[in-house]
Amino acid sequence: MTSSQQPDAARLMRWATYASVSTALILILVKVVAWFITDSVSILATLLDSSLDVLASLVNLVAVRHALQPADKEHRFGHGKAEALAGMGQAMFIAGSAGFLLLQAVGRLVSPQELTAGLEVGVGVMIFSIIATLILLSFQKYVIKQTNSTAIKADALHYRTDLLVNASVIVALLLTFYGWSYFDALFGIGIAIFILYSAWEIVKESIDLLMDHELPDDEREKIRQIVIKHPKVQGMHDLRTRRSGTRIFIQLHLELDSTLTLAAAHIIADDVENELESFFQDAEVIIHEDPVVIATS
């Protein structure tokens, strides 16, 4: 990523966190009103989810600001892993909300209550929530495409689950209103389980980043193709990759003709490095040049 692209990515990531916090705050306000009117455990589920969205998004905001700081003497590889820590924090918030929701839903399942008022308000709030979430997700999708930010990915993941949650709440409200009172609690339990699954997905990606997991096989294969494409490269080995926030680190051994001068070998390595950095934006590439003897007939 060029120096001009870096400020653009930083600005996009910051705006994505601001948009996430603002959306969650608006949804909390309207869902509080809907919950007081309907006393629906399904709406309580979405209210809790939105409340934790605010906490998670605030964690994201702080983490993204820290992750975008340039490398310094104490952190020579940058601060990108702050995004993974933010993901772990989000997962804890999300799992906590799921546990509380399970308790509330099980209690309502044991002692079901009829939904006697507020159907129009509850359904209207859920539709508004779906529209607001879709707008936010569209912006987040654009930011992720431009930056590949782990923190924004994690944020978008639980907002995508919100779409399903809000749609299921509409179904639960309608079923409960027409006499199927158990469905409000059952949908609450289902939502809680789905939230726990989403938290586990975030945890897995965060652990991969913190443990310096290799890039996916297709990306590693693309690296090999770019390297081998150079006409003077004889081969490569010891490819090592990892991701830290939006930054990718690539290390490899480049096999070159042993008769080349040091200057010539350095030029070839620079060519390969530039090709890799052109394909993988915001990549740091380290190449070790290994001499190989080319058999002659």
Region of 288 (left: φ > 0; alpha: ψ -120 to 50; beta: rest) is: beta
**Rounded Cα gap, residues 75 and 27, in angstroms:** 38
- How confident is the model at residue 245, as a pLDDT? 65
**Rounded Cα gap, residues 57 and 135, in angstroms:** 16
Q: Which residues of the chain have pLDDT under 50?
A: 1-5, 7
Instruction: Look up the domain containing 248 and give its range.
Output: 217-292
| CA 268 from centre of chain | 36
- Residue by residue, DSSP assigns 153-194 as HHHHHHHHHHHHHHHHHHHHHHHHHTT-THHHHHHHHHHHHH
**Rounded Cα gap, residues 112 and 41, in angstroms:** 10
CATH number, domain of 175, equals 1.20.1510.10
Residue 18 and residue 130 in one domain: yes
pTM attached to this predicted model:
0.55
User: Among residues 170, 195, 210, which one ends one of the domains?
Assistant: 210
Residue 170 and residue 49 in one domain: yes
**Rounded Cα gap, residues 177 and 163, in angstroms:** 22
Residue 31 and residue 173 in one domain: yes
CATH number, domain of 252, equals 3.30.70.1350
- How confident is the model at residue 186, as a pLDDT? 77
User: Among residues 210, 226, 256, which one ends one of the domains?
Assistant: 210
Structural domains of the chain, count: 2
Amino acid at 237: H
Residue 104 and residue 204 in one domain: yes
